[in-house]
Amino acid sequence: MEFLRGSWSRCWTGLGASADNHAICERLIAAYGESQRKYHTLQHLGECLTLFEAQRHHAGEPHEVEIALWFHDAIYQVRAGDNELRSADWAADALRAGGVAAERIERVRQHVLATRHAALPVGPDQALLVDIDLSILGAEPVRFDEYEHQVRAEYRWVPDFMFRPKRREILTEFLQRDPIYTTAALREKLEAQARANLTRSLVKLSP
């Protein structure tokens, strides 16, 4: 938790925000701890921020990328289709209240929206953020399997006959990307393992 709070303080201050940051940080920590979350939790946030720590030298505006990681799953309701939009709006509102420059706010907002993974990221900073969000696909097999169980637990209300084909569709879309990871450093680090993990999971999900 000390690492998380240190990360938050660094990026909030680095963006030139002037409002009290402690309350927002604690609200975000509480949000990631909500009971309906099984994967989109503090564990996921911590993994993202830890990887960013090792990759931050690749970011042009590291404070923007870091705070976008904080907000990218700030709102997560399993049955909702607008989580990223609401998370992006929360980020924009918080940064606006903190007096952050409008152009920075818009970049952070677009970074958060990019984690919908509906289109290719725009620019190197957004690519880095999206790759970090998808880094779980290239995790070691034990962690990847845990992730798959966590995702299933978030969607436990969906019957198997509906969940399995939809999950196959999602994982196939990632596997068909060439490459999965846009940034060279993370592609070298994660691409091969991600492809192995996705292929193995698709076999398990086969009819």
Largest Cα separation within the chain, whole Å, is: 55
| Residue 101: strand, helix, or coil | coil
Q: How far is CA 2 from the centre of its chain?
A: 20
**How far apart are alpha carbons 35 and 62 in whole angstroms?**
31
Burial of 169 (0-12, 13-18, 19+ CB in 10 A): exposed
Alpha helices in the chain (DSSP H): 2-14, 22-32, 42-55, 62-71, 83-97, 102-114, 124-133, 141-154, 160-175, 184-205
Query: In the chain, how many domains are there?
Result: 2
In-domain check, residue 74: yes
Question: Within this chain, do residues 143 and 103 fall inside the same structural domain, yes or no?
Answer: no
In-domain check, residue 180: yes
The range of the structural domain enclosing residue 177 comes to: 134-207
Question: Within this chain, do residues 24 and 85 fall inside the same structural domain, yes or no?
Answer: yes
pTM of the model: 0.95
In-domain check, residue 126: no
Query: What does the pLDDT profile of the chain (207 residues) look like in tens digits?
Result: 889 999 999 999 999 998 777 899 999 999 999 999 999 999 999 999 999 999 999 999 999 999 999 999 999 998 888 999 999 999 999 999 999 999 999 999 999 999 998 888 989 999 999 999 999 999 999 999 999 999 999 999 999 999 999 999 999 999 999 999 999 999 999 999 999 999 999 999 998
Evaluate whether 76 touches 90 at the Cβ level (below 8 Å). no
